[in-house]
Amino acid sequence: MIEFQQVSKSYPGGYQALNNVSFALENGEMAFVTGHSGAGKSTLLKLVCLIERPTSGTLLVGGYNLSKITDRQIPSLRRQIGMIFQNHKLLNDRSVFDNVALPLVIEGLNQKEIGRRTRAALDKVGLLSKEKYSPSTLSGGEQQRVGIARAVVSKPPVLLADEPTGNLDPGLSAEIMQLFQEFNRVGVSVLIASHDLALIETLPCRQLVLSQGSIITPDQIGSVDTGT
Ligand code: ADP
Ligand code: ADP
C-alpha cells in the first residue's frame, strides 16, 4: 500500500531529514513510526500525502509512483488518504457535523449522501449526539475524535496520523488507539507517528524506528540514542 525505496529528503538549507529510508506498509497493516523529536517522523508522513516531495528514491502509494504522478492524479491519490494531526485544525465557527462533512462537500456529493456518511462517521467515533456543537465546546479527546471522523468520512483505504494522542491523557490516548485498531480491523491500512512508547507497546503492531532520519533495527535500539 505504501512503499519507500531508498527515500531521502533534504529540506531547503540542506538539512537531511530522511536518509535512505526503505520499508513497506502492507495493504491492511497497522504500524507505528517512532523515534525522538526531530527524527523525521512527520517528514515521512508528509511525503506519503505529497505535502513534501522526496529529494531522491522511489515512493509508491496506493498504486501511484509519487515521482511520476501528474497534477491531475493528485486529488485521486489524496482521496485514498485520511490524515489526522495532533492539532486537529477544526473550524470553530462551524458545527461538528459541518467539520466532518467538509471533505464530502468538496467531493460534490448530494445532501442526502453527505448526511448519511457524515452521521456514519460520527457514529463510529461515538459523537453522534454532538453533531450540532461547535468543536470549541468539546473536550480535547472529543475534538480529536472529530478530526478522526473527518479523516475517515470518505472511507480512505489509508489513514496517516501524526502524534494523534500528543495532547491527551493516557486513558483518552488508549481510546484513540482503539479507534485506529477498529478501522484497521475493517481493512484500513494505518500508519501512526508517535513518540509515546508506553502506549505503543500495549499494541501488537510493527514499529519502524527512526533515528536521525534513518530506520534502525530493533537490536540497534539502545545502542543509539533514540532520545525517548
Ligand atoms: P519528527 O516528526 O520526528 O519530530 P520532523 O520530520 O518534523 O521530525 O523533522 C525532522 C528534521 O527536519 C528536524 O530537524 C526538523 O527541524 C527538520 N525540518 C522539518 N521540516 C522542515 C522544513 N520545512 N524546513 C527545514 N527543516 C525542516
Ligand atoms: P456503506 O453504507 O457505504 O457501506 P457505512 O458508512 O455504513 O458505508 O460503513 C460500512 C462499513 O465500512 C463500516 O463498518 C466501516 O467500519 C467500514 N469501513 C471500511 N473502510 C472504512 C474506512 N476507511 N473508514 C471507515 N470505515 C470503513
Tens of pLDDT, residue by residue over 3-44, are 999 999 999 998 999 999 999 999 999 999 999 999 999 999
Ligand of minimum distance to the alpha carbon of 226? 1
Q: How far is the CA of 53 from the centre of ligand 1 (A)?
A: 13
Question: Does the structure's ipTM exceed the value 0.90?
Answer: no
pLDDT for 87 beyond 90: no
Instruction: Determine the Cα–Cα distance for residues 145 and 147; give it in Å rounded to an integer.
Output: 5
Q: How far is the CA of 155 from the centre of ligand 2 (A)?
A: 6
Query: pLDDT band at residue 172, thresholds of 50, 70 and 90?
Result: confident
53 lines ligand 1 (CB under 6 A): no
- Is the CATH code 3.40.50.300 the one for domain 2-220? yes
Ligand of minimum distance to the alpha carbon of 80? 2
Tens of pLDDT, residue by residue over 117-126, are 999 999 999 9
Tens of pLDDT, residue by residue over 136-151, are 999 988 999 999 999 9
Backbone angles phi, psi at 153, to 5 degrees: -60, -30
Q: What is the pLDDT of residue 222?
A: 65
pLDDT for 76 beyond 60: yes
Q: How far is the CA of 31 from the centre of ligand 2 (A)?
A: 21
Phi-psi region of 197 (alpha: psi -120 to 50; beta: other; left: phi over 0): alpha
Mean pLDDT of the residues in the chain = 92
Q: How far is the CA of 37 from the centre of ligand 1 (A)?
A: 9
Ligand of minimum distance to the alpha carbon of 19? 1
Q: What is the pLDDT of residue 33?
A: 97
